[in-house]
């Protein structure tokens, strides 16, 4: 599912030239997947932040959004996306835990037949859903629920991507069982000052490979749901 670039071409902070500068920086940091780079070039990050921060949308940094959450650094978005892809081509079913601003959702929608995205904060997901629908991304399924348990009734998934830091091995083990054989889970894990980004691949029915791919800093996964 692609976004029509003519809808987002503009001047100043939203110009293609500014976005191309970000892409060049990501390439210098080791992001080589051209499809992922093209997705970050095309998806309009400035629409996923407040007007007050729009001038910083194409900086390679995380930014605050509503409900004390953040939109992830473009490098981390690119790294996580390329890690779940790993030359897999188009994914059939992808699970995203933590819709947040919807930016990572929009990136994943470029590579998956169906993205299942869940969010515990209703107001946050409602805002993201409105924007994603305005961008005509129609291959996304939304759910307001606790992300700790994943989305078992829609499993197995080709890929699972978690956009907050897990603190419980129970959550990790639960999500591992929701992968299909050959599927990949990308999940940050650990306390705020010692988080690592893990790439977990289900090699066989009861065999997984776990590899640390980066040190990161994410907001923690919280249990329960919020109706606000």
Q: Which residues are catalytic?
A: 72
Name the 3-class secondary structure at 94.
Answer: strand
DSSP class per residue in 40-61? HHHS-GGGGS-GGGGGGTTSSS
Structure tokens of 165?
A: 């830091």
Name the residue among 149, 151, 129, 150 with its Cα closest to residue 140.
129
Tokens of 152: 């078992």
The rounded distance, in Å, linking the Cα atoms of 151 and 149 is: 6
Give the end-to-end CA distance of the chain in Å, rounded to a whole number.
30
User: Across the strands, what pairs with 161?
Assistant: 96, 186
Which tokens go with 179?
């992968």
The two tokens of residue 149 are 């348990």
In angstroms, rounded to a whole number, what is the distance separating the alpha carbons of residues 49 and 7?
17
Alpha helices (runs of H) in 43-195, residue ranges in sequence order: 74-85, 103-108, 122-134, 169-176
């Amino acid at each position: 599912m692609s976004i029509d670039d003519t809808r987002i071409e503009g001047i100043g902070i939203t110009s293609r030239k500014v976005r191309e500068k970000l892409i060049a920086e990501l390439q210098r940091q080791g992001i080589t997947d051209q499809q992922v780079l093209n997705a970050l070039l095309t998806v309009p990050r400035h629409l996923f932040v407040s007007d007050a921060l729009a001038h910083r949308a194409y900086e390679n940094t995380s930014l605050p959004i509503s409900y004390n959450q953040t939109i992830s650094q473009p490098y981390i978005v690119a790294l996580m996306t390329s890690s779940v892809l790993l030359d897999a081509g188009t994914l059939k079913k992808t699970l995203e835990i933590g819709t947040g601003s919807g930016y990572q959702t929009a990136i994943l929608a470029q590579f998956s037949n169906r993205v299942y995205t869940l969010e515990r904060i209703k107001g946050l997901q409602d805002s993201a859903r409105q924007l994603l629908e305005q961008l005509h991304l129609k291959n996304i399924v939304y759910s307001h629920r606790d992300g700790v348990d994943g989305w078992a009734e829609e499993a197995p998934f080709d890929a699972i991507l978690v956009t907050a830091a897990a603190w419980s091995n129970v959550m990790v083990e639960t999500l591992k069982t929701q992968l299909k054989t050959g599927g990949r889970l990308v999940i940050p894990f650990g306390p705020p000052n010692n988080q690592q980004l893990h790439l977990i691949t289900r090699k066989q029915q009861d065999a997984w490979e776990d590899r640390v791919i980066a040190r990161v800093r994410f907001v923690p996964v919280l249990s329960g749901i919020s109706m606000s």
